[in-house]
């Protein structure tokens, strides 16, 4: 995605945030490899292209990007928060062996309305997270002869 992406500019501005080089660098680092990185991993990626960026700036930028609706937080148990630039409705699959996180599509109609909630409850946010072994990790180990 290029630095003159109107969606990025509009979303950040509508969120009440300034359009800074550092925010854009953090966003680009997320778009470059869509692997659900942690803030520390994003910091290391951004630091290659912008050596002066700090970890605090990365955290602040991620907070602004989440507030602007450009990035989603992915929380899996007690693990560090990961970040996802896919803003379409989707869930996540976490491999318990290699720790890779993958986007998963939700079936049509799969929404908070699919659940039977206690009377009077209103869902304001929902996340679908599944755990198991990815295809690579689920393969049986080859037999050694």
d(CA 6, CA 8): 5
CATH number 3.30.1490 given to 88-137: yes
Q: Which residues of 47-81 are buried (b: 16+ CB within 10 A; e: fewer)?
A: beebeebeeebbbbbbebbeebebbbebebeeeee
Architecture of domain 6-74: Orthogonal Bundle (1.10)
User: What's residue 124's pLDDT?
Assistant: 81
Residue 22 DSSP class: H
- The pLDDT tens digits for 123-133 are 887 788 889 99
Please state the domain extents for the chain.
Answer: 6-74, 88-137
pLDDT score, position 110: 62
Asked if residues 5 and 13 have their Cβ atoms less than 8 Å apart, the reply is no
Instruction: Give the pLDDT confidence score for residue 2 in this predicted structure.
Output: 42
Q: Report the C-alpha gap between 18 and 121 in whole angstroms.
A: 36
Task: Taking residues 11-27, report their average pLDDT.
Answer: 80
Identify whether the C-beta of residue 17 lies closer than 8 Å to the C-beta of residue 26: no
Give the tens place of pLDDT for each residue, 23-47: 899 999 998 888 999 999 999 999 9
Buried b (16+ CB within 10 A) or exposed e, 87-126: eeeebbbbbeeeeebbeeeeeeeeeeeeeeeeeeeeeeee
pTM of the entire structure? 0.76
What band does 109 get if pLDDT is binned at 50, 70 and 90? low
């Amino acid at each position: 995605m290029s630095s003159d992406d109107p969606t990025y500019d509009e979303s950040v501005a509508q969120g009440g945030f300034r359009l800074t080089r550092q925010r854009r660098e953090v966003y680009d680092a997320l778009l470059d490899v869509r692997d659900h990185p942690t803030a520390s991993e994003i910091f290391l990626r951004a630091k290659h292209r912008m050596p002066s960026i700090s970890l605090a700036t990365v955290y602040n930028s991620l907070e602004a990007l989440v507030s602007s609706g450009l990035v989603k937080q992915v929380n899996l148990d007690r693990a560090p928060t990961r970040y996802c630039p896919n803003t379409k409705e989707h869930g996540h699959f976490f491999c318990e062996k290699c720790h890779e996180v993958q986007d998963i599509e939700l079936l049509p109609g799969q929404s908070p309305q699919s659940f039977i909630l206690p009377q009077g409850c209103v869902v304001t946010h929902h996340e679908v997270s599944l755990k198991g072994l990815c295809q690579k990790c689920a393969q049986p180990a080859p037999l050694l002869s």
